[in-house]
């Protein structure tokens, strides 16, 4: 498995490499996407089109693996383990679900109708 230091090198000043790639991946959000989805660069460093992270995108032209397992290893090294954040997100979702229950279907019905038929 390639080391995380070379991956970080490929995630910086990588515009030429991204443009030469077919697919890219982000070790910030683990998304894999076509290289053509990357349209934002700052000083030749790609931004992730999914999570908008900076310096976390690598392309397949780097010859690095783009699979989830490798992306998680790189993420944990450069960003840190995310288990605690996943737990907080699950707790927040449970609280929001309990507090914000739908009491009416009016909004759903209005959302389906075209704007010119509202009122």
Question: What global pTM score does this model have?
Answer: 0.68
Instruction: Look up the domain containing 20 and give its range.
Output: 4-117
Query: Could you tell me if 46 and 12 are in contact, meaning their C-beta atoms sit under 8 angstroms apart?
Result: no
The residue that leads in pLDDT, 119 or 81, is 81
Enumerate long-range contacts of 50-54, CB under 8 Å, 24 or more apart: 50/26, 51/26, 53/26, 53/28, 53/29
* Strand, helix or coil for residue 54: strand
The mean per-residue pLDDT over the stretch 95-112 comes to: 61
Among 9-18, 64-73, 106-115, the least confident range: 106-115
pLDDT of residue 87: 77
The pair phi, psi for residue 80, each rounded to 5°, is: 115, 155
- Residues whose CB falls within 8 Å of the CB of residue 118, separated by 6 or more in sequence, listed in order: 110
pLDDT mean across residues, the chain: 83
Among 2-6, 15-19, 57-61, the least confident range: 2-6
Cβ atoms within 10 Å of 48's Cβ, excluding its own: 23
pLDDT, tens only, 68-86: 999 999 988 888 877 776 7
Cβ atoms within 10 Å of 41's Cβ, excluding its own: 16
Number of domains in the chain: 1
Among 4-18, 32-46, 80-94, the least confident range: 80-94
Question: Measured at the alpha carbon of residue 95, what is the angle toward residues 92 and 98, in degrees to the nearest 5?
Answer: 150
């Amino acid at each position: 498995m390639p080391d995380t230091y070379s991956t970080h090198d490929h995630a910086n000043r990588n515009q030429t490499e991204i443009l030469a790639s077919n697919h890219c991946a982000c070790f910030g959000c683990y998304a894999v996407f076509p290289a053509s989805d990357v349209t934002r660069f700052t000083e030749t460093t790609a931004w992730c089109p999914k999570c908008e992270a900076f310096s976390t995108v690598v392309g397949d032209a780097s010859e690095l693996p783009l699979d989830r397992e490798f992306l998680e290893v790189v993420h944990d090294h450069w960003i840190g383990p995310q288990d605690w954040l996943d737990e907080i997100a699950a707790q927040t979702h449970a609280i929001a679900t309990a507090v914000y229950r739908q009491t009416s279907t009016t909004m759903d019905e209005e959302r389906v109708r075209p704007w010119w038929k509202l009122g």
